[in-house]
Chain A
Amino acid sequence: MSRLRTAASALSGGTGPVIALLALVFAAIAVANPGFFEGPSLMAFLKQAAPLVILAAGQYFVIVSGNFDLSVGALVGAQVVIAARLIDGEESRTLPVLGVMLLFGLAVGLANGLITTALKVQSFITTLGMMLVLYGAIRLWTGGAPTGGLSEAFRGPGRRGIDGLPLIGQLPWALLAMIGLGAAAVWLMRTRFGRILVATGDNDLAAERSGARIDTVRTAAFVLSGLSATIAGVLIGGYAGVSAQVGEGMEFTVITAVVLGGVVLGGGRGSVVAAMAGALAIEALFALFNQLALPSTLRPSVQGLIIIAAVAYAAKRSARRPVPAIATTTTDPS
């Protein structure tokens, strides 16, 4: 019974519009090019979309707790550049460097979290500053442009998969990572931690009065975002190799994706599944533009209009409904 209610509230809540948008975009792609949904090409699409979806899950934790993380794009870029420089083409260094990257990602998230919660700097400013610090530090460290090279083992997770399967050809590791991490995120939002996180974003004063350690969960959200950026960095670096522009502008794409998923900026509303679906919808939109051979100069404008329309539609729907009992929407965030 409660599961039924969850499903119903998911459809009538923020998840509905993004699923509808996703279906609409996929339908349009199917009309433009039915071949897109053949196994191998669909797998290629999901492989390429996986990093943004994982990044969206990380960003969701931060946004739903009432903050922003603008540093993720720079962190993705920094991680790829760090990997290239430290690995420098040596296969044997792959694992140790992955360890270094993991620590670095967690440290950046922890710094964001502590500066925001302990020093009371608004997260918009904290992470904007972190973005610039990372950008500048990487430039300084590499003398302006990336050096070194990635190992074949490092490229594996982002580029390869389980080969020789019937129908789909290759099952990408990136897709498996996306599904695994997505499931972990859903599980996490169903734990006590997830509930406190949403309650903190909804009304931090009330959450604090009722005994929640809001600073701890908010900091943890930033650490999770740093972790997701690290994993996204590994996948993107693996997918395409190292270039100076990796990660540029990803912070805005991912925040757009999360908002498109019906997650409310300022916190307290929205589900992690919808945030990830939002990321998938954005990637699908890019694919559709490509299938339609839309002139590349026109794409940002069309993309902007579709996003505004989708979010406006969702906002109108939720405004028309009577304010729901907070308990049912916020305790079932997944």
Chain B
Amino acid sequence: MQITRPALASAAVAALLLTLGCTTDDLQEPETTDQAADTAEGDWFVQADYQEQIAQRDIEPEGDPAAPWLQAIEPEWVDTEEFARDGGDATVCFSNASVSNPWRVTGWITMQQQVEVLQESGAIGEFRHSDAADDDDQQISDIQAFVDSGECDALIISPSTTATLTPAVQAACDSGVPVIVFDRGVNTDCAVTFIHPIGGYAFGADAAEFLVDNLEPGATVLALRILPGVDVLEHRWAAAQEVFADSELEILGDEFTGGDAAEIKNIVTQYLQRGDVDGIWMDAGDGAVAAVEAFEDAGEPYPVMTGEDELSFMRKWEETGMTALAPVYSNFQWRTPVLAATMILDGEQVPAEWVLPQEPITEADLDEYLERNADMPSLHYAKFGGEDLPGFPDAWRDR
């Protein structure tokens, strides 16, 4: 018996290895034909959504361009008279998924500043909020608590994940309170309005198209991704794969970095040891500067690069004069939900799906956005859209 035990252990490991071997076949080479995109990556790629977002990039949004947080692309206006109430001083409740990254921290500050303005004007009385720290169960009970309190005149929800939060959002709608969902979506359209920028496909395609346009055919591109399995990030990569498939760029690999600067620098350094890297595609700007530094420290010429509108990257871009693009996942969307809440409580029409504009920052806009954000810390997002709020710039600077 004793002799067979190591043999059994080895057999078990061998079985594991075999399983791994079988399952890696579809991982190794991302298939690039349309058919494969529909099947192998079917979970994250919806052709219709992709094409809709690609098209939305070219549509002129309705509304004042000076206030992009109130603009909407092809809105379908819905009546909200049933929710109208008199007297102002509304209690607005907000269930936040988390403030666990600089993008959310920036947006959360902007939202609070907008709330202060609305409180001064008397539209909002009390503003209650809960932070679920990226925990689905916590957020479900947060939403439940707001509904049970019966004191919320409007409920704003920024869901932590799509499928898990859907029943909780549905329950909130069923209670009769007007619900506003923003950022990530849920699988129900019971909310009065769902507010979001164009989306992940547009972000990923903006970045990939920039690389295709600015690199020679046959050039090499490394894709850096935060983590797998998050819809907004998977959409960015799925769109990039679509664009790259039709190009002559060589994709060296796609690596998960966890957004950790040290990990990003390690990975880029090691790719540079293997050979030339001409372009970098990122699904989010976290740690983009570390990728640039890897080229500097290896003594290699700067790559053509896409990051995000995070200031550390934009400042590095300006300093080095590299060829770059900052795709944007519009941070100013954090202003819109509280404004939407007051509109709904006034009985004004709002778009059923409120698609906000989402325009990348290019070389041409770079200086303008850097100047506007000159006092801001490096982990701030350039398109935060709060410059006209009374708390500017201190509230964002001294965070």
* Chain A residue nearest to B20 in the complex (CB): A301
Query: Which of A57-65, A117-125, A237-245, A257-265 lies on the face that meets chain B?
Result: A237-245
A144 engages B99 (CB within 8 Å): yes
| Cβ-defined contact, B286 with A36, below 8 A | no
Roughly how many angstroms separate A146 CA and B106 CA in the complex, as a whole number?
11
Cross-interface CB contact of B270 among A240, A291, A302, cutoff 8 Å: A291
Q: Which residue of B lies closest to A286 (CB)?
A: B266
User: Within the complex, which residue of B98, B290, B377 is in contact with A148, where a contact is CB–CB below 8 Å?
Assistant: B377
* B101 x A35 contact (CB < 8 A): no
Min C-beta distance of A102 to chain B, whole Å: 21
Please choose the segment from B57-65, B136-144, B250-258 that sits at the chain A interface, where 4 or more of its residues have CB less than 8 A away: B250-258
The 8 A-B residue pairs with the shortest CB-CB distance, nearest first, are: A144-B99, A240-B261, A243-B261, A245-B260, A145-B102, A240-B262, A290-B270, A41-B273
CB distance from A41 to the nearest CB of B (A): 4
A86 at the interface (CB under 8 A from B): no
Residue pair B377, A244 in contact (C-beta under 8 Å): no
Residues of A within 8 A of B264 (CB): 240
Q: In the docked arrangement, what's the CA distance between A147 and B101, Å?
A: 11
| Contact A243-B20, Cβ < 8 Å, known A144-B105, A159-B293, A291-B274 | no
Q: A146 to B105: give the CA distance in the assembly, Å.
A: 10
Q: Does B287 contact A (CB under 8 A)?
A: yes
Q: Is B339 an interface residue (CB 8 A)?
A: no
Cβ-based interface call for A293 (8 A): yes
Q: Mark A233-261, 1 if CB is under 8 A from B, else 0.
A: 00010011111111010000000000000
A305 vs B12: C-alpha distance when bound (angstroms): 11
- Cβ-defined partner of B27 (8 Å) among A41, A297, A309: A297
Asked if B28 and A295 sit within 8 Å, CB to CB, the answer is yes
Is B4 part of the contact surface with A, judged by Cβ < 8 Å?
Answer: no
Minimum CB–CB distance for A237 against chain B, Å: 9
A298 to B102, CA, bound (A): 29
**Closest approach, in angstroms, between the C-beta of B153 and any C-beta of chain A?**
27
Once bound together, how far apart are the Cα atoms of A48 and B24, in whole Å?
29
Partner of A241, one of B267, B273, B289: B289
1/0 contact string of A142-168 vs chain B (CB within 8 Å):
111111110000000001000000000
A305 and B99 contact, CB distance less than 8 A: no
Check: A92 CB closer than 8 A to any chain B CB: no
Given A33-B273, A290-B270, 10 more contacts at CB 8 Å?
A144-B99, A145-B105, A145-B379, A147-B377, A148-B377, A240-B287, A246-B262, A295-B27, A301-B20, A312-B9
Contact between chains at A296 and B274 (CB < 8 Å): no
Nearest chain B residue, comparing its CB with the CB of A44:
B269
Closest beta carbon of chain B to A151's beta carbon, Å? 13
Contact residues, A1-57 vs B (CB, 8 A)? 33, 35-36, 40-41, 44-45, 48, 51
Q: Mark B256-296, 1 if CB is under 8 A from A, else 0.
A: 10111111111101110110000000000011011001000
Q: Does B36 count as interface, using CB distance less than 8 angstroms?
A: no
The CA-CA distance from A48 to B28 in the complex, in Å, is 27
User: Complex: how many Å from CA A17 to CA B310?
Assistant: 46
For A305, give its contact among B6, B13, B273, B298 (CB under 8 Å). Answer: B13
Q: How distant is A334 from chain B, measured CB to nearest CB, in Å?
A: 29
Query: Which of A148, A240, A246 has the largest count of B CB atoms less than 10 A from its CB?
Result: A240
Instruction: Report Cα–Cα, A236/B261, bound state, in Å.
Output: 9
B100 within 8 A of A: yes
Contacts A41-B273, A297-B228 given; does A241 touch B99 at CB 8 Å: no
Contact-residue bracket for chain A: 35 or more
A296 touches B254 (CB 8 A): yes
B271 contact set on A, CB distance < 8 A = 290
Does A107 make an interface contact (CB < 8 A)?
Answer: no
- A287 in the interface (beta carbon within 8 A): yes
Q: Which residues of B contact A35 (CB under 8 A)?
A: 273-274
A81 to chain B, nearest CB (A): 11
Q: Given A48-B269, A296-B256, does the pair A244, B102 have CB atoms closer than 8 Å?
A: yes
A143 — which chain B residues lie within 8 A by C-beta? 99, 105, 399
Residues in A279-326 with C-beta less than 8 Å from chain B: 286-287, 290-291, 293, 295-298, 301-302, 305, 308-309, 312, 316
Chain A residues lying within 8 Å of B6, measured Cβ to Cβ, are 316
CA of A295 to CA of B104, assembled, Å: 30
CB closest residue in chain B, given A146: B379
Q: Is B297 close to A, CB under 8 A?
A: yes
In whole angstroms, how far apart are the Cα atoms of A240 and B292 in the complex? Answer: 10
Please pick, from A45, A241, A291, the residue contacting B261 in the complex, using a CB distance under 8 A: A241
A147 touches B399 (CB 8 A): yes
Q: Is the CB of B28 within 8 A of A236?
A: no
Shortest distance from the beta carbon of A85 to any chain B beta carbon, whole Å: 10
Closest B residue, CB atoms, query A32: B274
The smallest C-beta distance from A202 to any residue of chain B, in angstroms, reads 28
A241–B293 CB distance below 8 A:
yes
Question: Does B258 lie within 8 Å of A248, measured CB to CB?
Answer: yes
Residues of B within 8 A of A305 (CB): 13, 16-17
- On whether the beta carbons of A33 and B274 are closer than 8 Å, the reply is yes
Rounded to whole Å, the gap between the CB of A207 and the closest CB of chain B is: 34
Inter-chain CA distance A142–B252, complex, in Å, is 37
* A243 close to B287 (CB less than 8 A): yes
Choose among B17, B99, B266 the residue with the greatest number of A CB atoms under 10 Å from its CB: B266
20 A-B pairs with CB atoms under 8 Å apart are A33-B273, A35-B274, A44-B297, A48-B269, A142-B399, A143-B399, A144-B105, A146-B379, A147-B377, A159-B293, A241-B261, A244-B101, A245-B260, A248-B260, A290-B270, A293-B252, A301-B20, A305-B16, A309-B13, A312-B9
Chain B residues with CB below 8 A from A145, complex form? 99-102, 104-105, 379
Residues in B whose Cβ lies below 8 Å from that of A48? 262, 265-266, 269
Give the most central of A146, A242, A245: most B CB within 10 Å: A245
B378 within 8 A of A: yes
